[in-house]
Amino acid sequence: MKNKEYYQQIKKNGKNVFEVYLEYKKTLSPLESMKKMRKDFPQITFEEAKEIMIICDTNYNSIEKYQGSILDDIKKIIEN
């Protein structure tokens, strides 16, 4: 996927996708915010919107790091 800097360059009315997502999230669920953000930025794919959501809502900078963390957690649970 793309890096955080790439997404920061995608703007509408002076706000980047992260700012728009976080604004919607004040009143909508994360999935509804993602859906509405995609209407504002139709060039963003569903996968990219998921990555934006993960970057905003977690401490991870990419969907790959987030998914890797989940796999590590599952391995720890299975091994115990």
Give the pLDDT confidence of 7-18 residue by residue, as tens digits: 999 999 999 999
Number of domains in the chain: 1
**Domain housing 70:** 4-79
pLDDT at site 76? 85
Can you give the chain as a three-state secondary structure string?
Answer: CCCHHHHHCCEECCEEHHHHHHHHHCCCCHHHHHHHHHHHCCCCCHHHHHHHHHHHHCCCCCHHHHHHHHHHHHHHHHHC
pLDDT at site 11? 96
Give the pLDDT confidence of 13-63 residue by residue, as tens digits: 999 999 999 999 999 999 999 999 999 999 999 999 999 999 999 988 888
Give the pLDDT confidence of 70-79 residue by residue, as tens digits: 888 888 889 8
pLDDT at site 44? 95
